[in-house]
Structure 1
Amino acid sequence: MLRFSLTATLALVGAGTLAGTLATPVLADGRLEARYKLSLAGLELGRAALVLEVDEKSYTASGSARLTGVVQAVSTGKGTAGARGQIDHGVLAPRAFAMEAETDKKAEAIRLVMNGAGVTDMNVEPPVMPVPDRVPLTDKDKRGVFDPMSAALIMVPGTEEALSAKACERTLSIFDGRQRYDLELSFERMEEVKAEKGYVGPAVVCRIAYRPVAGHRPNRSGVKYMMKNKEMYVWLAPIAGTRMLAPFRAAVTTAIGVAQLEALSFISEPMVGRQAGPAKAAIP
């Protein structure tokens, strides 16, 4: 449960979506700084921060998380995650992903190196243990995929309104170093959202379906539960100066209540004509 709390915080920070074509170059530079609260059944479990920066040729993403609230009384935990990549002919092309998470009982680290074809090098600590019921990962499972952090960005093609049902019309192929899975998104509704600081306005709500491909253990009750789970959603809000959207809120129904990540602060601004600095997220 404690490990789930920290890992879920990092995962939900990057549980948005990606893909698409950059349609209007003049609207290609933007920056987002966001702070989130993770809760389970109404109880605060953690805080997280996310910074996204994008220009016409590249993007960077940085996130951090720590356990707080009632969980902190029995266990400490913190983690960081980051990704960078290029924008090649209007398409996100991940180049590197790294994640580190640590509690008082366990530490893990994942590093991926990627090119246009897929993962070219990786290191996972502790390594994935071979067990008879685990669906094996193959080289094919590491091709044509995105890392979880790059999946925090949506680039909506065309010249129509970016904040629309089209943002949800996609299936995402993701490899996180341990598992290869698809997230199938479908449009649910439009909804007004309001952060304590920053963004106030409409968000597009996408329903999410989890489809494991490899690296998972299909007989595990948790895997079966998530495959059948029809109550997983992400709320996507716009990043100023771009045709991109990023997660404002995410919610997953679990056996013990709703796990939710919600923005306390969601501040974005265009960066046209400004010098971008290195993306770095810090938790208040």
Structure 2
Amino acid sequence: MNSHPRRSRDNPVLTAKHAVSLASSLGLGLCAAGLSALAPQAAAAQGRLEAKYEATLAGIPVGKGAWTIEIGDDAFSAAAQGGTAGLLKAFSGGNGSGASQGRVVNGALVANAYTATTTTQKKSETIRMVLTNGTVKDFSIDPAPPVDPDRVVVTEAHRKGVLDPMTGSMLRVNGNGELLSPDSCRTGAGIFDGRMRYDLKLDYKRMETVKAERGYHGPAVVCAVYFTPVAGFIPDRPVIKYLATERRMEIAFVPIAGTRILVPFRMSIPTPLGQAMLEATSFVTSATPPRVAKTN
């Protein structure tokens, strides 16, 4: 009986809002698949990215964000922040930030900490996670959310063999071959964001050329994205049902210079009110020289 008030809040406008929110948060974390393979290989070079993104709904700007990534020879860090604007600001007026850091092991990014904070007109919430080799050792949500009996319980097993959303958004291409190829998309993995555990599968769609207003202009590999909720979600939520059955979501990936890491340049999700899109307006990336050990 208590499901009716919840459904009334999930009207088509808010469902579209949630989809754009997912384009912002999952767009920086809906593509974790490539990091699931941690096979040893030669360490990659180092690189840096400074990017700015704009979120639109049916072509109307609804939010902006920024993303900075530093990949060194033995450590990495990534941080993103953004907020809603225009149409969506009337509903949520929200903004958020996220960060992940960890080690670089045989060329793979292995996170050990993740934090995400979201603030709206009604509340502020912070999620923190501590990870060890793909297992979430500890996590918290502050303030603690109320217990919902309809929510699928997240078990200890669900928190093993996963990636956090931030690290998960950086797609690693194994080997020494072509970075942007159909094989870069053919993979899958699991994500835990502190509340929900879900599986993602990528598949190749096409190659295309993308151009930012500032920075990157070149090829991108476009992957289809398939979302499967596993735990931590409420099954009757319309946005969950919609995303789980949607087969037109896609992400265009481009490389961070000097590395074998691909990151989203553009992500699109069809919604009841039109296409929700997150796209880079500025994408400045550069290789950094490997650190040279001192000999004196």
Please identify, of 266-275 and 214-223, the stretch whose mean Cα deviation from structure 2 is larger.
266-275
Unaligned runs of at least 5 residues, structure 2: 1-13
Cα contact 2:170–2:263 (8 A) shared by 1: yes
**Between Structure 1 and Structure 2, whose CA radius of gyration is higher?**
2
Following TM superposition, by how much is the alpha carbon of 1:93 offset from its aligned partner in structure 2, in angstroms?
1.5
Partner AA of 2:214 in structure 1: K
Cα contact 1:13–1:152 (8 A) shared by 2: yes
Distance 1:254 1:245, change over 3 A: same
- Corresponding position: 1:177 with 2:194: yes
2:27 maps to which of 12, 18, 21:
12
1:167 maps to which of 180, 184, 188:
184
1:30-179 equivalences under 5 Å are 30-72=47-89, 75-179=92-196
CA distance in 1, matches of 2:278, 2:170: 16
Q: Give per-residue Cα distances to partners, 1:6-59, cap 9 Å, x unaligned.
A: 56423323333341457443x420001110000111111100100111122121
Q: Give per-residue Cα distances to partners, 1:95-139, cap 9 Å, x unaligned.
A: 000000111122211000111151111111343433332211100
CA distance in 1, matches of 2:82, 2:103: 25
Percent sequence identity over aligned pairs:
38
CA distance in 1, matches of 2:223, 2:196: 22
Distance 1:45 1:97, change over 3 A: same
- Corresponding position: 1:246 with 2:269: no
- Corresponding position: 1:195 with 2:212: yes
Size of the aligned set, in residue pairs, is: 274
Distance 1:207 1:117, change over 3 A: closer
Following TM superposition, by how much is the alpha carbon of 1:68 offset from its aligned partner in structure 2, in angstroms?
1.8
Partner of 1:69, secondary structure, is coil
Partner of 1:204, secondary structure, is strand
RMSD (CA atoms): 2.0
Q: Give per-residue Cα distances to partners, 1:211-232, cap 9 Å, x unaligned.
A: 1111112232222211110011
Partner of 2:27, secondary structure, is helix
Partner residue, 1:280: none
CA distance in 1, matches of 2:288, 2:152: 44
Partner of 2:151, secondary structure, is coil
CA distance in 1, matches of 2:127, 2:196: 12
CA distance in 2, matches of 1:109, 1:8: 19
Partner of 1:12, secondary structure, is coil
Distance 1:273 1:44, change over 3 A: same
Cα contact 1:15–1:250 (8 A) shared by 2: no
TM-score between the two structures when normalised by the length of structure 1: 0.90
